[in-house]
Structure 1
Amino acid sequence: MSDTDTAPDETESTDDDTAAETETETDATTDGPRVRRYANYAVLLVLGLLAFVAVIQLYLSVSNAIRTWINPEYRSLFQAAFNLVVLLAAGVGISYQLRRLYG
């Protein structure tokens, strides 16, 4: 075999190595946004569960405080106002996280 026979073989293996490196770089580039999206979903899930538990405890505490401090004829009005505030706060938080995921 001559030197010219080995030269194309080296070039072919170099081309194969370059193609493999390009594939690896492409996979790494597409993994970043996917991992970020899954992390955002995980954050949304954890925040949702945390908010659920906190809202239940807060609701029970505020209901108890309303029963203690507010006259019976105004209790339903205060309960409704409190429920509205909780709903609006949850809506703002969820919409912010969904905008991060899809927008």
Structure 2
Amino acid sequence: MTDTTDTDIEPAGGSESATGTDPAENRTDEGSDDRSDLRRTLNYALLGGLSLLALIATIQLYLNVSSAINQWVTYEYRSLFQAAFNLTVLLLVSTGMVWQVRRLRE
């Protein structure tokens, strides 16, 4: 029979430390964090660019619809059509703002 002492026996986890955690789990992959930060920054930059483009397109649409109302609608009804159009835009913007505030509060 061979004599085994306490020093010859490995812990059940092999490379686990006395705290029971794997040392490999404590290491962070800094390259992955850098890529994640870069990806997040690029996503925000893309979102900002697309938002600016959407803002410009929205302003152009608003001005063109106003021009079309002035051209196609008789003078007596222009203010009514402009008011209806402005109310529609206001309701859409308000809905978008409420939706965004709810998303931010989650």
Question: Which interval holds the TM-score relative to the shorter structure?
Answer: 0.5 to 0.7
Please, what is the CA RMSD of the aligned residues? 4.1
Counterpart among 84, 88, 92 of residue 89 in structure 1: 92
Q: Per the alignment, in what secondary structure is the counterpart of residue 17 of structure 2?
A: helix
- Assess if the C-alpha contact under 8 Å between 1:66 and 1:79 holds in 2: yes
- Partner AA of 2:17 in structure 1: D
Where relative contact order (Cα < 8 A, 6+ residues apart) is larger, the structure is 1
Deviation by residue 1:15-59 (Cα, 9 ceiling, x = unmatched)? 2762661575xxxxxx9xxx8xx79xx487566434422321111
Q: Which runs of 5+ in 2 are unaligned?
A: none
Q: Which runs of 5+ in 1 are unaligned?
A: 25-30
Matched with 2:17 is 15
- Partner AA of 1:18 in structure 2: D
Alignment of 1:1-103 (within 5 A): 4=7, 14-15=16-17, 18=22, 21=25, 42=44, 45=48, 48-103=51-106
Tell me how far apart the structure 2 counterparts of residues 87 and 51 of structure 1 sit (CA, whole Å). 16
Say which structure is richer in helix: 1
How many angstroms does 1:75 deviate by? 1.3
TM-score, normalised with respect to structure 2: 0.54
- Assess if the C-alpha contact under 8 Å between 1:67 and 1:75 holds in 2: yes
How many angstroms does 1:98 deviate by? 2.7
Instruction: Name the count of aligned residue pairs.
Output: 88
How many angstroms does 1:88 deviate by? 1.0
How many angstroms does 1:85 deviate by? 0.5
**Residue 79 to residue 47, structure 1, CA distance change in 2 (3 Å):** farther
- Partner AA of 1:15 in structure 2: S
How many angstroms does 1:97 deviate by? 2.7
Identity of aligned residues (%): 52
**Residue 67 to residue 74, structure 1, CA distance change in 2 (3 Å):** same
